[in-house]
Chains A and B, each alone.
Chain A
C-alpha cells in the first residue's frame, strides 16, 4: 500500500527566508510524486510533479523539489518565501489508480 508522511505539521518562516518541507513516501514501485498547495477556502493546486528523469524538478511559484530514492524522500523547497506562500502544502504519491496524500504542512509567513 502506498503512503506519504509529512513530519512537520506546522512551519513558521519569515518573509524572504528559505523554506523546506519534508515528505517521505512508501510505494513498492517507481513512485509518481506530487506537491499540492491549498490556500484557505480553496481547492488544491498542483505545484510540481516527479515521474522520472531529473531528480530535481521545478514547479510553479518558484518552488522546486528533489527526489531521493535512497531516502524515499521528495522534499519541497523555495529559496525566498513571499507572504502569499502562506498555505497548506500536501505531498502525494500516485499509484493503484489514486493519489494518496500526506497529512499536510501548514506554512505561516511572518513579516
Chain B
C-alpha cells in the first residue's frame, strides 16, 4: 500500500539512450512533482502538475518531458541521456498548496554511463 511509488528504483543506462521513470500515487492528491537530487544531495524541483496541468517547469532541458495521463500518475521521460543526468529523481504528491501533506516516493537512482 505504498502511497507514492516510483519505478524503477535503479536505472543504469548508456549515454544517448531514452528512458522513462514512472510515478503513481494512491492518496487522491491533485498535485504531483518531480525533484532531482544531485550528487551533493541538493534537491531541486523540476516539474509540478496540478490536475494534469503543468504549473511549474524550472528551466529543465527539453530532453526532459513529464507526462501526466491522470491525477494519479506523473511520468518522466528523458531523451538523449547525458552523464550529467545521473542523479536520484524523486516523485512527490500533495494537495494544491497543501505542503504539509507532501509525500515523497523512495526515489529512482539513475546512472548514465
Contacts and interface: CB of A to CB of B under 8 A. Distances in A.
Interface of A: 32, 34, 38, 41-46, 49, 51, 88, 90, 94, 97-101, 103-104, 106
Contact of B102 (A88, A90, A99, A106): A99
Max count, chain B CB within 10 A of own CB: residue among A90, A97, A100, A101: A97
B83 to A, nearest CB: 22
B107 interface: yes
A43 B97 CA distance: 21
B48 A51 contact: no
B7 interface: no
Contacts of A43: 4, 90, 104-107
B107 A97 contact: no
Contact of A97 (B4, B43, B50, B104): B50
Contacts, number: 51
Chain A interface helix/strand/loop/mixed: strand
Interface of B: 4, 31, 33, 40-45, 48, 50, 55-56, 90, 96-97, 99-100, 102, 104-107
Given A97-B55, A98-B45, 6 more contacts: A42-B106, A42-B107, A44-B90, A46-B102, A97-B56, A99-B99
8 contacts: A32-B99, A34-B99, A42-B106, A44-B43, A51-B100, A97-B31, A99-B99, A104-B41
B93 to A, nearest CB: 12
Contacts of B99: 32, 34, 49, 94, 99
Contacts of B50: 97
Given A42-B106, A43-B90, A43-B107, A99 B45 contact: yes
B42 A103 contact: yes
Contacts of A90: 43
Contacts of B107: 41-43
Max count, chain A CB within 10 A of own CB: residue among B44, B45, B105: B45
Contacts of A32: 99-100
